Every structure is written in structure tokens, then in C-alpha cells.
């Protein structure tokens, strides 16, 4: 009986250890853009939760069937475990099931670090948040409000600050968000891969009109973006 218990525990540890190793091999090399990295982590998390849920459900079903009461007056008695066995059955399965979670947490920090590593040649735009809108300033001297135009396929770094209270620069589609703090400049970067319009909003409650503090990111073909810059930049160059 003791050998059976030990072999069961060892088999469980082996199965989940193998799952963690397989999971590690399935991960792409970072850095990747924020959207792709977030979706990959979310998919792995869903697999993690689903597998653990199915395993526990099957074990519970097995116990319900095997140890069900066969007569109204039947009472059961559990196995007598020593202190070491109790400790082992409590700690080892917990560590085994947590191994994949800890791995995913480590990958989350790795992806976060990649977010902070702006690629060379990124196109830079400054944004100043205020109650309740966004002012953008381009290196060419163009200024826009609640509308960020960028070229497709190019990494974009947004330098963020606030003129009044704390706001939060949030790009839901690109899975990217960072606070806008008065007196301090922060940044995010993202890489738009498809032409289109995407929501930009504030994710930090900032006053009565917080819900109206939104704008849009307009991703344009590079030729169209360059034409827009030429048509809208101040005469004589950036100011």
C-alpha cells in the first residue's frame, strides 16, 4: 500500500513536471510585441487552468464512485498516515500544481521587461494627458488632440506625461497601458501591424468626465502617413 501511494505521487509529479517542460518549449522568444505576447500568455493560462480543473474533476469523480456508501448504515474510516506522509501529500502536490503557475509568472515578468525595451528606430510621439483629453506632439511639430496617427508596421514609442492629475494611457487592442503622472515622463511602445482605427482611453479615474476621456489611434499606410505629415507640419519645420 505504501509503495502504491509513493508511486502515485511520483507519477503525478512526473506528469506535471513534463507538462511544465513542454510548456516552456512552446513559448516564443521574447521580445515580441505586447499584443502577441499577451495573447500567448493568456492561451497558456487557459490551458493551465483547464488541465488542472479536468484532473481534479476526474479524481473527485473517481473518489465519489469508489468510496460511495453501499448501505445506509455504512461508515468509513480513512487511512492512517504518519507525519511524514501527511507532510508529503500536502506539500508535494501543491508544489507540483504551482510549478506551471510560477513558470507563467516568470514569463509574465519577462514579457514586461520586453515591453520596456524600445526597438531601435522607433517613431516617437509625445502625449500630455489632461482633464479630459490627450494632446499629441510629433517631432515634426504637428499637434493633435485625441487623435494619434502612426504608420503601420513601425514600432511607436509614446512619451507620456500629465498636466494635472494621474491618468492612464490605455490601448486595449494593443494590450498596453501606462500611467500619465504630473511632473514625470513615462513611456510605452507598441507595433501596429494592421491599418485601421483603434480605441485610446483613460484607465484611471480622473474626475467627473473620466468616461469621456477617449480618443483613437489611426494606423495608416506609411506613404499616406508621410503625406499627412508633409501636409500638416508647420512651415519652416518643427517648432
E-state strands within the chain:
123-130, 133-138, 143-145, 147-151, 156-162, 167-171, 176-180, 186-190, 196-202, 214-220
Select the more confidently predicted residue: 196 or 26.
196
85 and 63 share a domain?
A: yes
Query: Which tens digits make up the pLDDT trace of 71-102?
Result: 888 887 777 888 888 888 888 878 877 887 78
Query: Which tens digits make up the pLDDT trace of 173-192?
Result: 998 899 999 999 999 999 99
Domain count, the chain: 2
Q: In this structure, what are the phi and psi dihedrals at residue 141, rounded to the nearest 5 degrees?
A: 95, 0
Alpha helices, H only, 76-169: 83-115
11 and 104 share a domain?
A: yes
6 and 25 share a domain?
A: yes
CA distance 153 to 230: 20
Query: Which tens digits make up the pLDDT trace of 147-170?
Result: 999 999 999 999 999 999 999 999
141 and 169 share a domain?
A: yes
104 and 147 share a domain?
A: no
132 and 207 share a domain?
A: yes
The SS3 assignment for 101 reads: helix
pTM above 0.75, yes or no: no
107 and 26 share a domain?
A: yes
Nearest CA-CA partner of 111 in 34, 23, 177, 193: 34
Q: Are 222 and 154 in contact (CB under 8 A)?
A: yes
Residue 192 lies in a domain: yes
Give the other-Cβ count within 10 Å of 119's Cβ: 12
Rg, Å, the chain Cα set: 27
- Write out the residue range of the structural domain in which residue 137 sits: 123-232
Q: Are 169 and 214 in contact (CB under 8 A)?
A: no
Highest-confidence segment of 66-70, 93-97, 125-129, 172-176: 125-129
Which CATH number characterizes residue 218's domain? 2.60.40.420
DSSP string, 187-223: EEEE---S-EEEEEEE-S--STTGGG-EEEEEEE-HH
108 and 32 share a domain?
A: yes
Query: Which tens digits make up the pLDDT trace of 20-49?
Result: 555 554 555 555 567 777 888 888 888 888
Amino acid at each position: 500500500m505504501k509503495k502504491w501511494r509513493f508511486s502515485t505521487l511520483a507519477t503525478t509529479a512526473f506528469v506535471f513536471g513534463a507538462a511544465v517542460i513542454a510548456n516552456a518549449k512552446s513559448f516564443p522568444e521574447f521580445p515580441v510585441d505586447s499584443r502577441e505576447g499577451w495573447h500567448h500568455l493568456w492561451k497558456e493560462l487557459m490551458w493551465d487552468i483547464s488541465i488542472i480543473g479536468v484532473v481534479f474533476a476526474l479524481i473527485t469523480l473517481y473518489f465519489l464512485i469508489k468510496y460511495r456508501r453501499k448501505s445506509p448504515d455504512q461508515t468509513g474510516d480513512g487511512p492512517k498516515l504518519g507525519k511524514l506522509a501527511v507532510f508529503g501529500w500536502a506539500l508535494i502536490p501543491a508544489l507540483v500544481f504551482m510549478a506551471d503557475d510560477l513558470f507563467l509568472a516568470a514569463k509574465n515578468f519577462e514579457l514586461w521587461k520586453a515591453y520596456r525595451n524600445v526597438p531601435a528606430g522607433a517613431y516617437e510621439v509625445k502625449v500630455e494627458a489632461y482633464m479630459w483629453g490627450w494632446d499629441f506632439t510629433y517631432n515634426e511639430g504637428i499637434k493633435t488632440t485625441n487623435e494619434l496617427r502612426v504608420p503601420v508596421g513601425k514600432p511607436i514609442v509614446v512619451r507620456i506625461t500629465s498636466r494635472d492629475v494621474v491618468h492612464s494611457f490605455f490601448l486595449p487592442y494593443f494590450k498596453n497601458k501606462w500611467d500619465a503622472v504630473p511632473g514625470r515622463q513615462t513611456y510605452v511602445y507598441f507595433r501596429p501591424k494592421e491599418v485601421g482605427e483603434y480605441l485610446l482611453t483613460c484607465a484611471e479615474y480622473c474626475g467627473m468626465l473620466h468616461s469621456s476621456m477617449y480618443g483613437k489611434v489611426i494606423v495608416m499606410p506609411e506613404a499616406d502617413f508621410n503625406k499627412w505629415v508633409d501636409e500638416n507640419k508647420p512651415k519652416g519645420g518643427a517648432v
